[in-house]
Amino acid sequence: MFVRPAVALCLPLLLIGCGGRQPVTAFADRTPVFHLEDFYNGHSKGYGFFFSRDGSVAKQFTADEDGNWDGKVLRLHEHYVFADGKTQDRDWTFEKDPDGTWIGRTPEVVGVTRGREAGNAYRMNYTFDLTKSGSDHTLDFDDWQWLMSPKVVLNRAWGTKFGLEVGDIEAVLIKD
């Protein structure tokens, strides 16, 4: 009889406690050092999956990414091809604030992204408007990238709605 009230009281605390991830500064001593403008200047090829909350594969994709760094603005064009044959294109711009924060913009993001580099890691947070992709809602993303070698980045992004995880994206990017 005591178990039900205890579970009811603890469940919200468990849900609140699930969202914490280590700060990007936890990777400050890792190498190679990730400079967003270096990796994304030029072409890279990506391979990845969207996983639903239960861990099943919801979508598989490849991506061609072409970037140009002019010393101030990083412009990145992404072309996705999904396993079902559908395609999607996205254009980003990134600018670095004086404090080192990367500010990213693309029409699908509500407002801007804010990202920081530390060691071999880059982390950005944003709200993604999925209505432009044919869905009817937005998701908040905690998007991480790790430079594993000068030509390989691992990417993992967790998507949440109302603070609850609804899925994640995992990909590898290989620079030409």
Q: Is-above-0.75 flag for pTM?
A: yes
Residue 41: inside a domain: yes
CATH no. for residue 101?
A: 2.40.128.20
pLDDT at residue 152 tops 90:
yes
Spatial neighbors of 162 by CB under 8 A, at least 6 apart, are none
pLDDT of residue 11: 42
Residue 17: inside a domain: no
Percent pLDDT > 70 in the chain is 88
Residue 16: inside a domain: no
Q: Give the pLDDT band of residue 136 (cuts 50, 70, 90).
A: confident
Percent pLDDT > 90 in the chain is 84
- Show the domain range for 129: 23-175
pLDDT at residue 45 tops 90:
yes
Residue 170: inside a domain: yes
pLDDT of residue 101: 97
Residue 106: inside a domain: yes
Q: What's the number of domains the chain is made of?
A: 1
pLDDT of residue 10: 40
pLDDT at residue 5 tops 70:
no
Spatial neighbors of 99 by CB under 8 A, at least 6 apart, are none
Distance of alpha carbon 112 from alpha carbon 128, whole angstroms: 10
Residue 116: inside a domain: yes
Distance of alpha carbon 111 from alpha carbon 105, whole angstroms: 8
Residue 7: inside a domain: no
Residue 10: inside a domain: no
